[in-house]
Chain A
Amino acid sequence: MAFIEARNLRKLYGRGGNLVTAIGGLSFTIEAGEFVGIMGPSGAGKSTLLNLLATLDQPTSGEVLIDQENLTYLSKAALAKFRRQRLGFIFQDFNLLPGLTVEENIVLPLTLAHTPLAQIQTACQTVSRILGLTDLLTAAPDEISLGQQQRVACARAMITQPQLLFADEPTGSLDSQAATELLQYLTAINQREHTTILLVTHDAFTASFCQRIIFIKDGMLFAELRRQKTRAAFFQQVIDMQATIGGGQKYDLF
């Protein structure tokens, strides 16, 4: 049974004459507990797609169903509740609040849900240990490096232990060791807690951690890859597919 279902999604930007088609009729399903990657050249509409699925944006036409619930018909408040309780989102541009400390940024989703303090503290400790942020908790976001900011963004998305985790280029600013650690962690929560993960990336290495990869180009479904054997073999498949699509990078090797 499909956990996420996109039915003929379309998203147009702009007004009047100069319309840009960001997504032009996408349909696919994602099962509960899957770890799915989305790849495609820059401007293909990946972020837009993720925003639509996360209800941050309304599709021009088409529908999104999550857990058989049609999000198109939910009220604003219900959508906010959905995002708060069931969804974690790691944004491409981090979206950290500048005035708040790292710790405050991380715990924000929990305070918004009025979680008891003890629970907040343990959750914060756990997540910051995993992401190596323990020493940075009192710093301000603009005092730390991009990679660190990205890890903070991850921590904020994961602290609520959501059912659904959307990640827009979560490893973009990380060195390969940090990236590997993060991805291993994502894999772990995917396996242990059956979190459904949707991950956008340009990077074949990152993508090779997924079970399935959806390739889109110009807002349309281009191809789909499923991991069968080892990760190394899968990595090679992804590289080949990127070459076919064009516009991807071919440098990142083991």
Chain B
Amino acid sequence: MTFSKLLFKNVKQHLNESVAYLLACAIAIMIYFSFNVMTHAPHLVTLIAEPAQLLGVFAFAKVVICLLVLTFMAAANTVLLQQRRQELTLLKVLGSSRFSIASLFFLEQILFGGVALLLGVGLGLLLTRLFTLILLRFMQVTQVAPQFLFSWTALGQTVGIFCCFFLLMGLYDVLLIQRQPLRLRPDTNAADTTRWFTWPFALIGVVLTALGFGMAQKFFQTIQFYNRFFNTNSGLLVILASILGFVVLGLALIYRWSLPLLVRQLRRHQRWAYQGLRPVMLVNLRRDLHENAMALWVITLTIASTLVILGSIAMGREILQRSLDNTSPTAITVADDAFPAVQRTLKQEGIHVEADHVATFKLVPSAFQLQSFLRLHPMIETLPLTVISLSDYRQAQQFQPTLPRLQLTTGEGVILKQEANYFTLPLQTVTQTVHLKDPQVPQVKLVGISGQFAFGTLRYVSSGLVVADQTFAQLRDEGAVRYHALAFTQTQHSLTVSRQLLKQFDNRLIYFKATKNKLKRQAQRTTGAYTLPVLTARYPTQVSDQMGYGLLIYVCLFLSCVFMLVSGGMMLLKQLGNSSQLQQQYRLLTKIGLASVDLKKMIRWQVGFLFELPVLFGSCCAYFALHILSVLLFGTSLKLALFIAGGYVVVYGGFSHITTQLIWQRVTKKESRSDSFN
């Protein structure tokens, strides 16, 4: 048989198991290529207000894809070669030199690489229009039609990089073959023995993980407890680090010790284990866990991190939305002195102003104490407070419906503070008061803290204070500013006008000089001055937020696609490697009267378990991580993370189905073949 014939025969024979590998590579290449093409499309790049952002995100994504693909290829090749160890040994025994075997595998690798590249780039080219359409949808851009994109540089880059990868893999194969010991049979079962540390390790694994999850669930309480106990303020970091450490270590122990021990105990529990195929299934599960513990662990952690990243991006949407509402709640918010100019412009441009709310803000130096969940001792704030009257606050409720209702009597106040969730009122101090440096109103009784700012955060130099109208009237006027909040609907035209206005008042600020007892408005900046912006506009920020956000989501979705494929493909290959053992079981069990349907069911269970277990654990980890994030960032949306977790379940379900089919094919097919060669 000539060399090329042998090569083709080889490729044909292993096509079955390599299909998963090939497809995963091809799709990764496709996504890489589509990202690459997008970064080289001039009209897409210029569309984005900050093209650097787009390029940066895509560059990062491409690096991640490359890393994923490389690890996948290396792992897959190791597994595939292990499976073909017998064939290799046979070739050696038959007298092929190591060199010719190595070059055979090298060429095979290159051949596969070529096919994967062709497939990937071809698909990428076909689907660019669709991908651009999706990207534009996500970015909520309507004025650009999706086009067929092509760029020679992108093509060259993709082909170049992946050619390098496949060459590398070819070399890696050669290296593996050189170091492969001669062996005719793969090693069989690991002994089912326990040692003295099996039980402790298994228990520690479960306890650590549970502890980590519990600490995450009761995050603030744990930090408080820690701070009290050790009398420090470092609780936040320490607790975060220990949760991470506990869960990561705990999961490793669970995969390596607890689950095998559980299987072992189940096996001993005859009432459960002596039924149908369970004895066989338990043995197989134990072996699978033993062989794949670390792979499962890594996959679990990666699933958890993708879910956390995507989930926090979904939270990011809410945070962006909230921060937009908080910074510029209406179309334009403008200080009193610039108001006539803005009004004129709007009139000229024919924009109808639907509402004009006016509010007065007074800046007063102050001192007050707050107790944070995250700190042991109360914080003493001495920054100036921006004070707003209750009636102005109520006015703002018309266009900021989420503002909480307040009831205040004279002499009472509510602090507005951005991280309001972290604070309780000081518990130790008897008098909960805000001390103001004002002759008329030296102090206000503190009755609450709120995280939402009437007229937007940017109207406040630091924290805010809402007081009853009477108290407000008594305060000195020197540090007073009036703001107009103008509302009009968003159209393409009003967006352009907003942009113009923003440019016109770009960087114009109102300065306040702090003296010992008061704050005074000032014409120019001096050192240590407090500032407020003259004008903020909602729509331009909103649009660029949407674009950046859509871009991020788009990239992350595709990245998680690549990850799902890559990890699923790897598990598939690993499990296919076990099919010779299953085949042995199949032959024997059918001889003693097992219906083959039952065995297929067992394989389905076994394979499904190994696929969905990491998803389950990963989702658990992600849930608690997102819980911590939502406590820290006040976002609460787990929707996207749930959606992606569902995606994992479905995709891995598909993978486990395919794996079952492939294993089944091998298990039943090889039997008939060996029939005639025995």
Q: Which of B567-615 contact A (CB under 8 A)?
A: 584-585, 587-598
Fill in one digit per residue for B640-678: 1 if any A CB lies within 8 Å of its CB, else 0.
Answer: 000000000000000000000000000000000001100
Contact assessment for A81 and B595 in the assembled complex, using a CB-CB cutoff below 8 Å:
yes
Fill in one digit per residue for A108-121: 1 if any B CB lies within 8 Å of its CB, else 0.
Answer: 11111010010011
Residues of B within 8 A of A98 (CB): 188-189, 584
**A89, A100, A156 interface centre (most CB from chain B within 10 Å):** A100
Residues of A within 8 A of B189 (CB): 98-99, 140
Fill in one digit per residue for A49-87: 1 if any B CB lies within 8 Å of its CB, else 0.
Answer: 000001010000000000000000000110011111101
Q: Does A13 contact B (CB under 8 A)?
A: yes
Contact assessment for B593 and A100 in the assembled complex, using a CB-CB cutoff below 8 Å:
no
Q: Which of A103-148 contact B (CB under 8 A)?
A: 104, 107-112, 114, 117, 120-121, 140, 142
Q: Given that A85-B593, A95-B588, A108-B279 are known contacts, is A140 also in contact with B191, CB under 8 Å in the complex?
A: yes
Contact assessment for B596 and A84 in the assembled complex, using a CB-CB cutoff below 8 Å:
no
Residues of A within 8 A of B588 (CB): 95-97
Q: Does A15 contact B (CB under 8 A)?
A: yes
Q: Does B278 contact A (CB under 8 A)?
A: yes
Q: Given that A80-B596, A117-B270 are known contacts, is A91 also in contact with B276, CB under 8 Å in the complex?
A: no
Contact assessment for B591 and A89 in the assembled complex, using a CB-CB cutoff below 8 Å:
yes
Contact assessment for A15 and B592 in the assembled complex, using a CB-CB cutoff below 8 Å:
no
Contact assessment for A120 and B274 in the assembled complex, using a CB-CB cutoff below 8 Å:
yes
Contact assessment for B594 and A112 in the assembled complex, using a CB-CB cutoff below 8 Å:
yes
Contact assessment for A108 and B276 in the assembled complex, using a CB-CB cutoff below 8 Å:
no
Contact assessment for A112 and B592 in the assembled complex, using a CB-CB cutoff below 8 Å:
yes
User: Closest residue to A80 on the B side, CB-wise?
Assistant: B595
Contact assessment for A111 and B276 in the assembled complex, using a CB-CB cutoff below 8 Å:
yes
Minimum distance in angstroms from B286 CB to a CB of chain A: 8
Contact assessment for B591 and A83 in the assembled complex, using a CB-CB cutoff below 8 Å:
yes
**B188, B271, B283, B595 interface centre (most CB from chain A within 10 Å):** B595
Bound Cα distance A76, B270 (Å): 30
Bound Cα distance A120, B588 (Å): 20
Contact assessment for A83 and B593 in the assembled complex, using a CB-CB cutoff below 8 Å:
yes
Contact assessment for A15 and B274 in the assembled complex, using a CB-CB cutoff below 8 Å:
no
**B188, B590, B593 interface centre (most CB from chain A within 10 Å):** B593
Fill in one digit per residue for A15-48: 1 if any B CB lies within 8 Å of its CB, else 0.
Answer: 1000000000000000000000000000000000
Residues of B within 8 A of A120 (CB): 270, 274
Residues of A within 8 A of B499 (CB): none
Contact assessment for B595 and A114 in the assembled complex, using a CB-CB cutoff below 8 Å:
no
Residues of A within 8 A of B636 (CB): none
Residues of B within 8 A of A89 (CB): 591-592
Contact assessment for B276 and A112 in the assembled complex, using a CB-CB cutoff below 8 Å:
yes
Bound Cα distance A114, B277 (Å): 9
Q: Given that A100-B279, A112-B594 are known contacts, is A117 also in contact with B676, CB under 8 Å in the complex?
A: no
Q: Which of B313-350 contact A (CB under 8 A)?
A: none
Contact assessment for B278 and A111 in the assembled complex, using a CB-CB cutoff below 8 Å:
yes
Q: Does B275 contact A (CB under 8 A)?
A: yes
Bound Cα distance A89, B278 (Å): 22
Bound Cα distance A104, B280 (Å): 9
Bound Cα distance A99, B365 (Å): 78
Bound Cα distance A142, B279 (Å): 17
Contact assessment for B596 and A99 in the assembled complex, using a CB-CB cutoff below 8 Å:
no
Fill in one digit per residue for B280-295: 1 if any A CB lies within 8 Å of its CB, else 0.
Answer: 1001101100000000
Bound Cα distance A230, B596 (Å): 46
Minimum distance in angstroms from B540 CB to a CB of chain A: 67
Contact assessment for A111 and B275 in the assembled complex, using a CB-CB cutoff below 8 Å:
yes
8 Å CB contact of A87 from B280, B286, B593, B597: B593
Contact assessment for A117 and B597 in the assembled complex, using a CB-CB cutoff below 8 Å:
no
Bound Cα distance A29, B98 (Å): 58
Bound Cα distance A96, B276 (Å): 17
Contact assessment for A97 and B280 in the assembled complex, using a CB-CB cutoff below 8 Å:
yes
Minimum distance in angstroms from A241 CB to a CB of chain B: 29
B residues near A (Cβ < 8 Å) are 188-189, 191-192, 267, 270-271, 274-280, 283-284, 286-287, 584-585, 587-598, 675-676
- Nearest first, the 10 closest Cβ-Cβ pairs linking A and B are A84-B593, A83-B593, A99-B283, A80-B595, A104-B279, A99-B189, A95-B588, A111-B274, A77-B595, A117-B271
**Other 10 A-B pairs with CB < 8 A, given A80-B594, A97-B283, A99-B287:** A77-B595, A84-B592, A85-B593, A97-B588, A104-B267, A111-B274, A112-B594, A114-B276, A140-B191, A156-B592
